[in-house]
Structure 1
Amino acid sequence: MIQVTLVGHEFQYEIEHLLRAFFPQARFNFSTVTSADQDMQVISMWKDDRFYAKVEVEDQTYVKEHKEHITITKEMDRRKIAKRLLKKVLYEALVAYTKKPLPWGILTGIRPTKIVQEALEEGRSEKDITKELLETFHIQQDKIDLMLAVAKAEKQILDKNKVGEISIYIGIPFCPTRCVYCSFTSYPILQWKDQVDKYIDALIKEIKAFHDFYEQTPIRSVYIGGGTPTSLDETQLQRLLDAVNMYIPMESVEEWTIEAGRPDTITLEKLQMMKEAGVGRISINPQTMQNKTLEVIGRQHTVDDIIQAFYMAKEVGFHCINMDLIVGLPGENIDDVKETWNQLSLLKPDNITIHTMAIKRASYLHRNQEKYHMMDTNEVEEILAFIEEQAKFMGLEPYYLYRQKNMVGNFENVGYALLGKECIYNVEIMEEKQTILAFGAGAATKIVDLSTNAIQRIENVKDVQHYIERTEEMIQRKNSVKNRIFQVNRKN
């Protein structure tokens, strides 16, 4: 247990996340009272227009004082500056103590490119942005290059947003099984088979309730995710596809994606149904091309099933297929991941999304880490560099970037795509430049006001049974903010 004393600020959340990046296996106890058994003390204060911070790690002391004149116009600005500078001082102290810099420096948020997007919108040069990211955020140069590349790719997509335009998310929370690393609210479909039709009834009711709203609002993308949407049987999937086409004006939608996900849920009939309905982009997500690992993580299919599903989708006529790969799966080493990449490269998917293993607290893996060998930080760093190089060789460029808590090595997730095959919805949901209307258990609607950068969330209940029983309440939650969405969209 690491004892941490906080003095003069209320940044425990931010401090804890930065500490966890350095000490992922440690437990922390925070206090605001100095004690003899403390391992670390983090102090901050304002002296007129100067910010003072001090970090003590065991017997070492690291002191930093911000000496520039700072004009504070809002209390929010004061808090933002204090938080950033305090994290900077803490980071520098921890690097001096551990001798291990982090690739993303003081950044702990999930949307690193937002900083670059905002700076570019202010008209700042790449040179100026790079300097700040290096000196203030302590981000490594290769990650800065990645941020700039992704931000420019995203801009090509975001610049095409029309006034008042929104996107739609539809959630299917069922999966064939739950993988050992998963913490999402997903339900093994065989255990819930008696509730699936009721869930589809409720979902269609919720989608239908906003039929008049769609007629007045341009829709750019529709994304059906999960879970595994193709864990629905053919009849259930057809009902959902028909409802989308019946109640949403799909003729004007630029992109319609369905996460087909698990190969053992994909059939020729389902692929044909999706294609005929107008779906243009699907995901087939192997995570690995190692049969031994598929068994370890709880998948009930083989590598051959993945390959068969991919070619079947191509034969049906899908010309935008994403495949997900996880780096750092339990039991795998560098050679395993390279072999997986080599097999994916032979398939030549249009998108490949690379996830760095995140050990989530609600997962089976987190509760049973001692059972598995996991790749270390250096191995993950080596394989991510290999993938970046190989992706470029295949003509795949990074367009989508986000991070998660508890990632191995404090790295990142990156979406690579052929030019023109980028996923619009991924960029919209990550950069929060467009309102997302969301349906289904656990789905979260986000109302984005670009004039103030304010985001309002309206969340559906996560539990499937509660969602079925309270569908009308979920509808009313969004109905209550319809006028708000119209008002915001007229400004966006």
Structure 2
Amino acid sequence: MKIAKKSGQTKPVNLKLQIMDEQGYRYKGPEGYHSFIGQVMAHLGYVGGYETGNIGAHILLSDENGIIDLTCVFIRDDKKWKSRASIIRCGHTREDIKNCLIHWHERFTGNKTGPWGTLMGVRPTKLVHHFFDRGFGDKEIITILQQQYRVEKEMAERLVHMSRLQRPFVMEPRNHVALYVGIPYCSSHCLYCSFPSRLVGKEEEAGLQAFSKALETDLQDLNKLCRQYSLTVDTIYIGGGTPTCLPIAILKDIIQSVAANFSPVQEWTVEAGRPDTATKEKLALLRQYGVDRISVNPQTMQQRILDVLGRHHRVEDIYTMFNNCRDLGFSVINMDFIAGLPVQNVKDMQENMEIVCQLWPENVTIHTLALKKRAPLFHHPLRDRIPSQEEVTKMLEYCDARLVEKGYIPYYMYRQKYMAASFANVGYAFSDAIGKYNIQMMEERQTVLAAGPGGATKFINLPEHRLEKLYMPKEVNAYMASLEEKMQLRRKLCTYIYGREDR
């Protein structure tokens, strides 16, 4: 790789990125590189690609005659940094492009990239599993992460330890699969949420029944595939949306259909995150049909924050729901919290963790707010009340220290676009209550079948662990209209992977 002499250089500027840096970037070049450039820029804290206002970076790329010509201008106030590189196209071209952009950004800001180094992507532990597959030991992998990817030592050690913990869950026979069921309905839209869910209160009964029937057809088709190719469903996850917002008769039809086609399983989770939707009657229904893992997701335990987020319930309702779940005998209760919510401070998150230590849920997931364009918060005045990166870092550090102190083990993690580069979402569990489905979904080493709007079926094509994917439309009517066509495509993919026939 040949890097041309930089021009327009200024003295490095120390920049303190906020949790969701509002700087955009503009890209001009081949469409085939656009998504990749977007990943790199998101890693550096930039959003967009075709943005016209508040531009913090210009990326110009050309690809001619086997040479990549890359030019980048970083901008902040009246400070600019311009660099250019000529890269010979080869097997690691994208890695070279990424390293150039990250290196230039470090020179411009005067700051190192952070604990992740140059390691990008949603699933950082996938790389570690790749090294395990090749026979590398823990110490070797830590060294590779530090030297080749510039990952900080503590982060490298955590990634390897977490991957080692996951290893038994990702080495199961190829005919063992997971099932996801998508329910795209909610009782109200939360301010931070970008998921295109429907408000259940605005749906007519006939529409909900039509959706339920379509989902039943979808599930029956998956059951036929499992029987035809001897696939065993180990775990089930029903998410959304908020599945428990459905009327109990509709919810019962869906749960009955899942149980009839796939029960019993090792682990069956239902997201029941909104206590204003999860009545004791609905929770009892879930237990009746075999659901053993339930998500009670307050996101925060401060009423003032719940109110501004549009979550129409009281803090007391969370306690009531939690106690109902205990009384009904769910073996695992998960609680989700978000760090970085508008008007939130470090004391709020400390209070959340103290409540966790009183309730003792078996699983706790700590998310970091990722500001997405489709979320109401993106254009809301409360966007200005999002806490700084420094504050959120303190929140996350406190959560990690407190949970580990109390015996919780970090067992899976993932990152999101539009999240500050040093942050990740982390799942914690007691050693005897690790969420198997979460590992299966994140590590993408086991086939995941999906039913319902927005579901993504992912067949694992061994030995390369290559994914063959099929996505269901997110919008309910589009899902129902295209269901037969999508099921046919899914059958062909399944035949290709498990029937060893050509498509």
Aligning the two structures, in what range does the TM-score lie when normalised by the shorter sequence? 0.7 to 0.9
Which whole-Å CA distance do the structure 2 matches of 1:260 and 1:40 have between them? Answer: 43
- Corresponding position of 2:498: 486
Q: Deviations over 1:229-276 (max 9, x none)?
A: 11112212221121122222x23x211111111111111111211112
Residues 131 and 276 (structure 1 numbering): CA distance in 2 closer, same or farther, change over 3 Å? same
- SS at 1:108 equivalent: coil
- Corresponding position of 1:130: 142
Q: Give the counterpart of 1:456 among 468, 471, 476.
A: 468
Which whole-Å CA distance do the structure 2 matches of 1:135 and 1:11 have between them? Answer: 26
Q: Give the counterpart of 1:374 among 386, 410, 424.
A: 386
Residues 333 and 65 (structure 1 numbering): CA distance in 2 closer, same or farther, change over 3 Å? same
State the AA in 2 paired with 1:272: A
Native 8 Å contact 1:360 1:366 kept in 2 = yes
Native 8 Å contact 2:45 2:419 kept in 1 = no
- Corresponding position of 2:418: 406
1:327-406 maps to which residues of 2 (within 5 A)?
327-368=339-380, 372-406=384-418
1:181-260 maps to which residues of 2 (within 5 A)?
181-194=192-205, 195-215=207-227, 216-248=230-262, 250-251=263-264, 253-260=265-272
State the AA in 1 paired with 2:39: H
Residues 29 and 175 (structure 1 numbering): CA distance in 2 closer, same or farther, change over 3 Å? closer
- Corresponding position of 2:5: none
State the AA in 2 paired with 1:169: Y
- Corresponding position of 1:93: 104
Residues 310 and 43 (structure 1 numbering): CA distance in 2 closer, same or farther, change over 3 Å? same
Q: Does residue 36 of structure 2 align to residue 14 of structure 1?
A: yes
Native 8 Å contact 1:331 1:374 kept in 2 = yes
Q: Does residue 179 of structure 2 align to residue 168 of structure 1?
A: yes
Question: What's the CA shift for 1:442?
Answer: 1.4
Gaps of 5+ in 2: 1-22
Question: What's the CA shift for 1:136?
Answer: 3.0
Which whole-Å CA distance do the structure 2 matches of 1:3 and 1:468 have between them? Answer: 38
Q: What is the TM-score with the length of structure 2 in the denominator?
A: 0.85
Native 8 Å contact 2:24 2:46 kept in 1 = no
Native 8 Å contact 1:328 1:408 kept in 2 = no
Which whole-Å CA distance do the structure 2 matches of 1:2 and 1:301 have between them? Answer: 36
1:458-473 maps to which residues of 2 (within 5 A)?
458-473=470-485
- SS at 1:264 equivalent: coil
1:309-320 maps to which residues of 2 (within 5 A)?
309-320=321-332
Which whole-Å CA distance do the structure 2 matches of 1:140 and 1:96 have between them? Answer: 18
Question: What's the CA shift for 1:132?
Answer: 2.7
State the AA in 1 paired with 2:93: A
Native 8 Å contact 2:26 2:48 kept in 1 = no
Which whole-Å CA distance do the structure 1 matches of 2:237 and 2:45 have between them? Answer: 37
Which whole-Å CA distance do the structure 2 matches of 1:236 and 1:5 have between them? Answer: 47
Native 8 Å contact 1:449 1:488 kept in 2 = no
Q: Does residue 173 of structure 2 align to residue 151 of structure 1?
A: no
Of 100-109 and 398-407, more deviation after overlay is shown by 100-109
- Corresponding position of 1:305: 317
Question: What's the CA shift for 1:369?
Answer: 5.0
Which whole-Å CA distance do the structure 2 matches of 1:246 and 1:25 have between them? Answer: 45
Residues 418 and 94 (structure 1 numbering): CA distance in 2 closer, same or farther, change over 3 Å? same
Of 1-10 and 123-132, more deviation after overlay is shown by 1-10
- SS at 2:469 equivalent: strand
Residues 47 and 149 (structure 1 numbering): CA distance in 2 closer, same or farther, change over 3 Å? farther
Count of residue correspondences: 469
Residues 282 and 336 (structure 1 numbering): CA distance in 2 closer, same or farther, change over 3 Å? same
Residues 464 and 8 (structure 1 numbering): CA distance in 2 closer, same or farther, change over 3 Å? closer
Residues 129 and 205 (structure 1 numbering): CA distance in 2 closer, same or farther, change over 3 Å? same
Of 281-290 and 381-390, more deviation after overlay is shown by 381-390
Report sequence identity in percent: 30
1:439-450 maps to which residues of 2 (within 5 A)?
439-450=451-462
State the AA in 2 paired with 1:246: A
Of 382-391 and 323-332, more deviation after overlay is shown by 382-391
Which whole-Å CA distance do the structure 2 matches of 1:419 and 1:38 have between them? Answer: 45
Q: What is the TM-score with the length of structure 1 in the denominator?
A: 0.87
Which whole-Å CA distance do the structure 2 matches of 1:134 and 1:47 have between them? Answer: 34
Q: Does residue 105 of structure 2 align to residue 105 of structure 1?
A: no
State the AA in 1 paired with 2:350: K
- Corresponding position of 1:116: 128
- SS at 1:210 equivalent: helix
Residues 235 and 23 (structure 1 numbering): CA distance in 2 closer, same or farther, change over 3 Å? closer
Q: Give the counterpart of 2:432 among 420, 428, 433.
A: 420
- Corresponding position of 2:93: 82
Which whole-Å CA distance do the structure 2 matches of 1:282 and 1:272 have between them? Answer: 12
Residues 366 and 142 (structure 1 numbering): CA distance in 2 closer, same or farther, change over 3 Å? farther
State the AA in 2 paired with 1:220: D
Residues 53 and 171 (structure 1 numbering): CA distance in 2 closer, same or farther, change over 3 Å? closer
Question: What's the CA shift for 1:149?
Answer: 2.3
Which whole-Å CA distance do the structure 2 matches of 1:221 and 1:291 have between them? Answer: 34
Which whole-Å CA distance do the structure 1 matches of 2:59 and 2:189 have between them? Answer: 41
Residues 188 and 56 (structure 1 numbering): CA distance in 2 closer, same or farther, change over 3 Å? closer
Which whole-Å CA distance do the structure 1 matches of 2:243 and 2:487 have between them? Answer: 22
Residues 38 and 408 (structure 1 numbering): CA distance in 2 closer, same or farther, change over 3 Å? closer
Native 8 Å contact 2:338 2:368 kept in 1 = yes
- SS at 1:224 equivalent: strand
Question: What's the CA shift for 1:224?
Answer: 0.9
Q: Deviations over 1:28-79 (max 9, x none)?
A: 679xxxxxx996667799999x99988665765668899xxx9xxxx9xx34
Which whole-Å CA distance do the structure 1 matches of 2:223 and 2:24 have between them? Answer: 54
Q: Does residue 488 of structure 2 align to residue 476 of structure 1?
A: yes
Gaps of 5+ in 1: 31-36
RMSD (Å), alpha carbons: 3.1
Which whole-Å CA distance do the structure 1 matches of 2:134 and 2:487 have between them? Answer: 38
